[in-house]
């Protein structure tokens, strides 16, 4: 049986409402630094964990139970969508997603299959398990089309994304076709997650900061606008997150969403000015959590002075939890933010 929607501080903050305490969760909180996840990784690879509902739910719940965060994020991988579209993906330790047959020319796009929700039945089951056991909201997510296209073209993570940019600039029509195909799949993918019970959704555009503002407006923004507009009827908060987006932020916020997530490369006051009336999520540098507690506390205090943290704000990191971070520091950070 699905638990009723917990209309607590996270969802209220997403909607820009006043809250009694600051909501907090962490990107990549499910896994990495937590002992339960590390134990499971001794006998299971990442993709097996994400595709086994009971185990994925266990990993998703651990940070809620151990750290006291105000939302759970579905333990999944952004490459699950390309996998469901027929792409062969390996997760290589220390490297990340690796695709043996990347898209090297426009003709290769035809290898991508249309997304069929039946290919992610395991993910929907994970969501149903979480909704039956958790009292905090469950966040679903997808990679954004530029980030997914980058992996499909490069074949693995890159520092420069030159192959992606070259494809985008040399084959603009094929790029449009690829982005449209991915955008339509993302909408269906997130719809399937909402249908299963997630109470908020986030799009990760981890690599879009590699583009200039002009490139972003021409080659990416129209697709993002269509995705977020198509998700409006889902009636759940929509979070738009990217890294290295300080120079893109006004355009980045020019989509129909409730929340903009930012990394540490921009101050919260400046970010709030650029995103207008949308709620703000972020943006402590994950590396700060490797410092002594006094430094962490000073950073939090400095961040929160820049904005009204009890209306339209969600505390988070500027990117994911690092494997080296002590989970007891994360717990102490949650308690401190809640007490502020």
Active site residues: 28, 32, 41, 77, 151
Residue 79: exposure state from Cβ atoms within 10 A (0-12, 13-18, ≥19): buried
**Do 56 and 49 touch, CB atoms closer than 8 A?**
yes
- Closest by Cα among 170, 268, 189, 273 to 230: 189
Q: How far is CA 261 from CA 89, 179, 278, in A?
A: 27, 22, 10
Strands 238-242, 138-143: pairing is unpaired
β-partners of residue 202 are: 141, 239
**Do 309 and 22 touch, CB atoms closer than 8 A?**
yes
In the DSSP assignment, the letter for residue 28 is T
Q: Could you check whether the bond before residue 283 is cis, i.e. omega within 30 degrees of 0?
A: yes
> How far apart, in whole angstroms, are the C-alpha atoms of residue 20 and residue 11?
13
Kindly tell me the number of DSSP H helices and DSSP E strands found in the chain.
15, 9
- 């980030």: which residue's tokens? 147
> How far apart, in whole angstroms, are the C-alpha atoms of residue 190 and residue 147?
16
Nearest-Å Rg of the Cα atoms of the chain is 19
DSSP structure string for 222-289: HHHHHHHHHTGGG-S-EEEEESS-GGGHHHHT-SS-SEEE--TTS-HHHHHHHHTTSEEEEEE-GGGG
**How many other CB atoms sit within 10 Å of the CB of residue 17?**
14
């Amino acid at each position: 049986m699905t638990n009723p929607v917990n209309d607590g501080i996270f969802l209220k903050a997403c909607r820009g409402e006043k809250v009694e305490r600051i909501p907090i969760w962490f990107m990549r909180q499910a896994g990495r630094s937590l002992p339960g996840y590390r134990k499971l990784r001794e006998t299971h690879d990442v993709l097996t964990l994400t595709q086994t509902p009971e185990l994925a739910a266990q990993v998703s719940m651990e940070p809620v139970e151990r750290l006291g965060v105000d939302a759970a994020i579905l333990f999944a991988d952004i490459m699950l969508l390309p996998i469901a579209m027929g792409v062969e993906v390996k997760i290589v330790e220390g490297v990340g997603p690796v695709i043996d047959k990347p898209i090297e020319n426009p003709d290769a796009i035809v290898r991508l299959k249309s997304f069929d929700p039946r290919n992610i039945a395991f993910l929907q089951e994970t969501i149903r398990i979480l909704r039956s056991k958790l009292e905090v909201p469950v966040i679903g997510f997808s990679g954004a089309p530029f980030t997914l296209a980058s992996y499909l073209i490069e074949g693995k993570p890159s520092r420069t994304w030159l192959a992606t940019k070259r494809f985008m600039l040399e084959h603009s029509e094929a790029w449009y076709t690829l982005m449209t195909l991915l955008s339509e799949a993302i909408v269906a993918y997130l719809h399937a997650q909402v249908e299963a019970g997630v109470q908020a959704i986030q799009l990760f555009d981890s690599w879009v900061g590699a583009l200039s503002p002009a490139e972003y407006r021409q080659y990416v923004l129209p697709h993002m606008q269509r995705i977020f507009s198509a998700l409006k009827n889902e009636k759940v908060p929509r979070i738009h997150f990217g890294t290295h987006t300080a120079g893109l932020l006004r355009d980045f916020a020019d989509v129909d969403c409730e929340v903009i997530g930012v990394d540490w490369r921009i101050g919260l006051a400046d970010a709030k000015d650029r995103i207008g009336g949308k709620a703000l999520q972020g943006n402590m540098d994950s590396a700060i959590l490797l410092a002594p507690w006094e430094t962490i506390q000073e950073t939090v205090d400095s961040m929160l002075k820049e904005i009204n943290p009890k209306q339209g704000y969600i505390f988070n990191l500027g990117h994911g939890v690092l494997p080296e971070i002590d989970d007891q520091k994360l717990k102490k950070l949650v308690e401190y933010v809640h007490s502020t």
